[in-house]
Amino acid sequence: MVLLRTILCCIELLVFSIIAGLLGSLTGLGGGTVLVPLLTLFLGIPIAYAAGASLISTIATSSGAASAYIRIG
């Protein structure tokens, strides 16, 4: 039962992340603008954890872009 709940939670996170990415790219907003309210309102994750997850994804994306920019020159 616990394994099923874990799998369902992972699927919900995946679906919400895809929705946030699509809406973020279509509107020009960051995905965190959409993802943080989704995580907080629908999954019951505390806002501090949701905002932290958004910050970590922003840092990871920015670091990857910066390293590609530096490598190109």
The residue length of the chain stands at 73
pLDDT of residue 48: 93
pLDDT of residue 29: 77
pLDDT of residue 57: 79
| Domain boundaries of the chain, sorted by first residue | 2-72
Residue 39 burial by CB count (10 A; 0-12/13-18/19+): exposed, middle or buried? buried
Rounded-to-integer distance, Cα 25 and Cα 61, Å: 14
What are the pLDDT digits (tens) for 14-67?
888 888 888 877 887 777 788 888 889 988 889 999 899 888 878 888 888 899
User: Is residue 70 scored above 80 in pLDDT?
Assistant: yes
